[in-house]
Structure 1
Amino acid sequence: MELSDFDYNEDNFGKDLRRAEVGFKRGKTYFLDLVDHWQRFIDAKLSSDIVLKVDPGSDMATGVILGKQFALHLSQVSRGEHGLTAVLLTLNDRVNKSELELDRFYLNARGEVLSKTGELLLSSQEDDSSASIRLFYAILLRVLKAEPWA
């Protein structure tokens, strides 16, 4: 903990908690819509060497590309007054029997994709289909480039 963790107006906690909850729920809904789009895109345009599955109750999607197993884990994060959906991309390291963090990004309530530092990566103003596919390719390329034993 840090000293700044105690510099907080307790009267705002309930309101901030509701904002965080709404932001996470919207981000999660947006994520599930993305995964649905990616699954249809795989079926229509990509190879059978790519598999993507989601269990809406588990806050996670799992996939395989060219034998490399990966997962996208969701978590609730509060940043200031806003609730975000954190998406953690992991790779299954079968040799060391562990999951390696490859990257993380955030989805806000407007469906925008943000970097770890809060930089806007994909705007909700872009064509939804184009932005969705660009994000999916970025995820797949990150998995393909990963060297789990390095």
Structure 2
Amino acid sequence: MNTDLDTINRKILNELVANARIPVSELARKVGLSKTPVALRIKQMEDMGLITGYRANLSPLKLGLTHITYMQIRLDDTRQKALEKFNAEIRKIPEVEECYMIAGGFDYLVKIRSRDMSEFRRIMAEKISALPHIGSTSSFVAMEAVIEQDFSPS
């Protein structure tokens, strides 16, 4: 099976994204196959790394994590060893929800979720500022989530 997904595999993936706990029998009914071929397709997509896991999606808002800050980070050293060290250390900060290496006027774009500005300030002072090779940062506080969604293959 290659990564070109047929219609049934796309339906399976869409159903799993919507509800990863759906019973295979119900999933089979929804995509128009019996249980065995659906289970086989899921196993194949897992084996090829297309499905990388299953998880519970938590509500950040209900957990009180309503403050989102996007941060541009510019490093003072962008040689490979410096990048690897920075990457390893930022992965250890649980409040960092996303981190991308960027081609452009700065090196990394980071999404940090916290309870409020005071907590963000603590994260910035104690964790972000302590990261290796930090040259400069710029922070941008999100006022409202206009679109916030999980990936779906449809």
TM-score (norm 2): 0.24
Higher-Rg member (1/2)? 2
TM-score (norm 1): 0.24
